[in-house]
Amino acid sequence: MEFCIQAPEPSGPVTELIGCPEFQQRLLRFDSAGDERRDGDRDEVLYVLEGSGRVTVGGETHNVEAGGAVFVARGTAWRVDAADGLLLLSVLVEEPLPADVSHVVVANGERGTATAGREFDLLARPENGCASVTQFVGHIPAGRAPEHFHLYDEVVYVLAGEGAFHVGDESAPLRPGACVHLPARLVHCLENFGPHEMRVLGVFSPAGSPAEAYYPDGTAAAVPVAC
């Protein structure tokens, strides 16, 4: 299943994960301060997977820790000033829309709900200045979602839990570090084997609600489905 891979263990400063026309997903590891970074063509959304540190973005300094997120608009400089085992999940956004801000730091996401007890925490999104994408953490209880599709293109990274990703008659295992690319309109479903919650980090474009979904016949899900 070409759209689902198990990410390699990060062994250097940059580990490439998924590349597609809309996104480039990678891991960035910092054991100390790093050089200044700036991308003149692409937005970047970052999520702190492990560790903590201090970053300067657009001339402002912020402390970051596991579970936090940072949006960096194209052309904005950023650097890591200090790091204690800092591991970032980076998604570069191709051909971004004009952003309302140079950057935003999100320590805690706004909680939303989907079907079957599923919930999500909204991180970078248009409401806080990130016009091109929505970044979220999905909280998925044990069980299998109904088959569905989304109108957005998405990359997903499994943070915790084990399960399977199903497309038609094919299935691929999911465990921490697994990466999934979901093209728009791909009919799929995600299953959490349990017994504990599965958590995933998703970034999708165009921006919207992670819970907006459609059943295979094209009808809108009466109750929203996330992932």
Give the pLDDT confidence of 41-58 residue by residue, as tens digits. Answer: 999 999 999 999 999 999
Q: Which pLDDT tens digit goes with each residue over 145-169? A: 889 999 999 999 999 999 999 999 9
Q: Which pLDDT tens digit goes with each residue over 165-219? A: 999 999 999 999 999 999 999 999 999 999 999 999 999 999 999 988 899 999 9
Phi, psi of 128 (to 5 degrees): -115, 20
> Quick check: 79 and 114 in contact, CB under 8 A?
no
DSSP state, 218?
A: S
> Quick check: 211 and 136 in contact, CB under 8 A?
no
Q: Which of 106, 41, 114 shows the shortest CA–CA distance to 73?
A: 41
Confidence (pTM):
0.93
> Quick check: 136 and 122 in contact, CB under 8 A?
yes
At the topology level, CATH places domain 16-106 in Jelly Rolls (2.60.120)
For residue 72, the model assigns a pLDDT of 98
Domains 16-106 and 110-205 share a fold: yes
Q: Which of 21, 202, 204 shows the shortest CA–CA distance to 95?
A: 21
Q: For residue 195, with 0-12 CB atoms within 10 Å meaning exposed, 13-18 middle and 19 or more buried, which class applies?
A: exposed
| CATH classification (class only), 110-205 | mainly beta
Domain boundary assignment for the chain? 16-106, 110-205
**Integer Cα distance of 174 and 49 in angstroms:** 17
The amino acid present at 127, given as its one-letter code, is: E
**Integer Cα distance of 106 and 104 in angstroms:** 6
* Mean pLDDT value of segment 116-120: 73
